[in-house]
């Protein structure tokens, strides 16, 4: 159930939730504008604990973002709001999964509505008491804004750069360091809502219990630190990085997204000096728990080399007197799709997965100059492969979608060059599919003329 279905079923509660959001924004704004530390402390406690409207807003958001609206009625959401206490521990199961990309892996946590509500509330509090540091984009702007900042740096003459990562950042965060950086957020809030202590295994390898007390079962080591998947981890991580980069020497521009750090300078020596300073500050401020991942990335010269940041490989261009960076997907992502299209035997479920991914490329790669054209071409080819393997009804739908992509590509993409070879075992030939698509276009044109 989405929000609109929920609001149609419970219109009175939907109005109450909107008013609660407005009240939360008023309280949060008051914290931001507090004129003294004492006044801010009073308002912060009101935001975190005392204001029911604020708790109701985040209780509703916790349920919505956990995609559980169909399972919760208004009275149950109100009960979550009543019981919501970010100062106290919450013992609740949490699912995990390990995502692997090449040789790298990371554990992602999936929290239930009560935990999400607490995390969302604390994330709002952190944003209210800590002003954002320039050129940090985990929370404000995301990947597109980070890439834009790198491009602007190159325009401003900061042509030398290096991307750095913090080794095992999220699980390496220590509680004492986190409490210090997030002050004046109360330690109890940091310990019980932001940070994760060791978790206890439940049935199966991917279900754990967090928030256990000292007398509970023996915990699993390694499941601690800032949990990736928590709503307040991105803003907390950004504060940890800001605490370090604010001490770097002048003359270097620092751009960050989570624990990915780009150092830009007008000279190669400037990047080297900033790297040394960053490594020293990071270890000193975290008491050695946080270190830069070695070996460091190569220093590039954007005038003649590829710019690498956040898994993208950008090429600087000069067009009509303007300098910019084209950010296509990296070779691994593109090659994976090319191989799937050329593969003689292709599983239908894998095709559907890649189609969903490519459909999102407009948002995933918004700074790719020819992204729209490549997206249409790849979608047409992937759907053609799927059409070869589909039954008559599904194939008819896919033919319509392929025709639409082909039409959008224009006359520069002949159909016989666009369609891939059919996979092994397909009863539909390439010529058969081309004929169906051509017939669909002819019917559309005939309909328009009539």
* Cα 61 to Cα 144: distance, rounded to the nearest angstrom: 25
**CB < 8 Å & 24+ apart, contacts of 356-362:** 358/382, 361/329
When pLDDT is averaged across residues 193-206 and rounded to a whole number, the result is 62
Chain position carrying tokens 């019981």: 83
Q: If you search the block for the tokens 């000292």, which residue do you land on?
A: 214
Residue 450's pLDDT is what? 65
What are the distances in angstroms from CA 398 to CA 75, 257, 383, 392? 44, 38, 6, 10
As a whole number, mean pLDDT of residues 413-439 equals 90
pLDDT on residue 447: 81
> Cβ(306)–Cβ(315) under 8 Å?
yes
The C-alpha atoms of residue 311 and residue 302 are separated, in whole angstroms, by 16
* Residue ranges with strand state E in 144-272: 160-165, 200-201, 207-210, 252-257, 260-265
pLDDT of residue 104: 65
Beta carbons within 8 Å of 125's beta carbon, 6+ residues apart: 28, 31, 44, 47, 48, 185, 189
Tokens 């080399």 belong to residue:
305
Mean pLDDT score, 303-318:
90
Contact 298, 131 (CB under 8 A): no
The model's pLDDT over 338-364, given as tens digits with 9 standing for 90+, comes to 999 998 887 888 899 999 999 999 888
pLDDT of residue 364: 85
Q: What is the mean pLDDT of residues 193-212?
A: 58
Separation CA 232–CA 118 (nearest Å): 9
Quote the pLDDT of residue 263.
97
Torsional class of 426: left (φ above 0), alpha (ψ -120 to 50), beta (otherwise): beta
| Calpha distance 72→43 (Å, rounded) | 30
pLDDT at 371 over 80: yes
User: What tens digit of pLDDT does each residue of 26-44 get?
Assistant: 999 999 999 898 999 899 9
> 246 by DSSP, 3-state: which?
coil
Average pLDDT over every residue of 358-384: 92
Of residues 204, 210, 243, the one with CA closest to residue 227: 210
pLDDT at site 214: 40
Rounded CA-CA distance 233/203 in Å is 26
Q: What pLDDT digit, counting tens, does each position of 9-32 carry? A: 999 999 999 999 999 999 999 999
What's the whole-number mean pLDDT along residues 376-385?
94
CB atoms within 10 A of CB 4: 9
* Tokens describing residue 77: 């959401």
What is the percent of the chain where pLDDT is above 90? 60
Give pLDDT, residue 277: 95
Burial class (CB within 10 angstroms; exposed 0-12, middle 13-18, buried 19+) of 315: middle
pLDDT for residue 412: 73
Closest to 51 measured CA to CA, from 73, 19, 76: 19
Answer yes or no: are the C-beta atoms of 378 and 358 closer than 8 Å.
yes
Q: Is the pLDDT of residue 280 over 50?
A: yes
Local structure of residue 48 (DSSP, 8 states): I
Q: Which of 205, 36, 243, 234 is nearest to 139 (CA)?
A: 234
Q: CA 137 to CA 301: how far, in whole Å?
A: 23
**How does DSSP classify residue 70?**
G
Helices (H), 260-347: 268-285, 331-342
Omega of the bond leading into 428 within 30 degrees of 0 (cis): no
Give the pLDDT confidence of 122-167 residue by residue, as tens digits.
Answer: 999 999 999 888 899 988 888 899 999 999 999 999 999 999 999 9
What is the DSSP secondary structure assignment for residue 423, as one 8-state letter? P
List, for residues 86-136, the tens digit of each pLDDT value.
999 888 887 877 776 655 667 788 899 999 999 999 999 999 999 888 899
Alpha carbon 94 to chain centroid, angstroms: 20
Q: Can you name the residues that pair with 110 across neighbouring β-strands?
A: 95
> Over 80: is that where the pLDDT of 69 sits?
yes
Instruction: Out of 247-251, 278-282, 426-430, give the one with best mean pLDDT.
Output: 278-282
> Which tokens belong to 168?
């095992």
Question: b/e string for 425-436 if b means 16 or more Cβ within 10 A?
Answer: ebebebeebbeb
- What is the layout of strands, in order, in the sheet containing 300-301? 252-257, 260-265, 160-165, 300-301
What is residue 349's predicted lDDT score, i.e. its pLDDT? 87
Contact 87, 47 (CB under 8 A): no
What is the CB neighbour count within 10 angstroms for residue 251?
Answer: 12
pTM: 0.79
Choose between 21 and 247: higher pLDDT. Answer: 21
Determine contact, residues 418/381, Cβ cutoff 8 Å.
yes
The reported pLDDT for the residue numbered 133 is 87
Instruction: Tell me what the pLDDT averaged over the chain comes to.
Output: 88
In 3D space, the residue among 421, 246, 399 whose CA is nearest the CA of residue 407 turns out to be: 399
Which residue in this structure is represented by tokens 């609660």?
A: 20
DSSP codes, 315-357: EEEEETTEEEEE-PPPHHHHHHHHHHHH-SS--HHHHHHHHHH
How does DSSP classify residue 215? Answer: T
- Report the range out of 50-59, 207-216, 405-414 with the highest average pLDDT: 50-59
The predicted-structure confidence for 210-240, as pLDDT tens digits, reads as follows: 544 444 433 344 457 888 889 999 999 999 9
Query: Which of 66-70, 277-281, 422-426 is predicted least confidently?
Result: 422-426
Give residue 207's pLDDT.
Answer: 47
């Amino acid at each position: 159930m989405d929000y609109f279905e929920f609001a149609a079923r419970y219109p009175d509660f939907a109005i109450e939730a909107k008013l609660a959001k407005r009240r939360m924004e008023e309280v949060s704004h008051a914290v931001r504008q507090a004129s003294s530390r004492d006044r801010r402390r009073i308002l912060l406690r009101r935001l975190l604990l005392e204001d029911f409207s604020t708790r109701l807003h985040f209780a509703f958001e916790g349920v919505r973002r956990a995609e559980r609206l169909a399972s919760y009625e208004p009275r149950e959401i109100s009960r979550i709001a009543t019981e919501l206490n970010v100062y106290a521990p919450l013992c609740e199961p949490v699912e995990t999964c390990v995502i692997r990309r090449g040789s790298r892996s990371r554990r992602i946590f999936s929290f239930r509505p009560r935990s999400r509500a607490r995390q969302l509330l604390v994330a709002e509090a952190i944003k209210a008491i800590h002003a954002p540091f320039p050129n940090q984009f985990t929370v404000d702007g995301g990947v597109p804004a980070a890439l834009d900042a790198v491009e602007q740096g190159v325009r401003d003459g900061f042509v030398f750069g290096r991307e750095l990562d913090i080794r095992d950042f999220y699980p390496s965060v220590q509680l004492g360091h986190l409490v210090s950086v997030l002050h004046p957020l109360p330690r109890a809030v940091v310990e019980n809502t932001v940070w994760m202590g060791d978790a206890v295994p439940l049935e199966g390898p991917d279900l754990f219990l967090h928030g256990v007390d000292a007398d509970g079962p023996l915990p699993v080591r390694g499941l601690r630190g800032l949990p990736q998947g928590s709503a307040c981890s991105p803003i907390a991580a950004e504060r940890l990085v800001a605490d370090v980069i604010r001490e770097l020497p002048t003359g270097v521009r620092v751009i960050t997204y989570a624990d990915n750090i780009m150092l830009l300078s007008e000279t190669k020596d400037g990047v080297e000096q900033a790297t040394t300073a960053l490594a020293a500050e990071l270890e000193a401020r975290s008491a050695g728990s946080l270190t830069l991942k070695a070996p460091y990335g190569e220093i590039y010269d954007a005038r003649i080399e590829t710019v690498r940041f956040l898994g993208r490989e950008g090429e600087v261009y000069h067009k009509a007197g303007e300098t910019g960076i084209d950010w296509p997907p990296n070779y691994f992502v593109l090659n994976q799709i090319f191989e799937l299209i050329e593969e003689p035997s292709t599983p239908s479920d894998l095709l559907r997965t890649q189609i969903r991914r490519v459909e999102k490329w407009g948002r995933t790669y918004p700074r790719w100059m020819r992204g729209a054209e490549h997206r249409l071409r790849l979608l047409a080819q992937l759907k053609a492969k799927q059409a070869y393997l589909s039954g008559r009804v599904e194939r008819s739908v896919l033919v319509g979608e392929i025709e639409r992509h082909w039409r959008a590509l224009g006359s520069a993409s002949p159909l016989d060059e666009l369609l891939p070879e059919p996979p092994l075992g397909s009863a539909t030939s390439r010529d058969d599919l081309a004929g169906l698509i051509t017939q669909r276009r002819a019917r559309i044109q005939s309909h328009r003329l009539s």
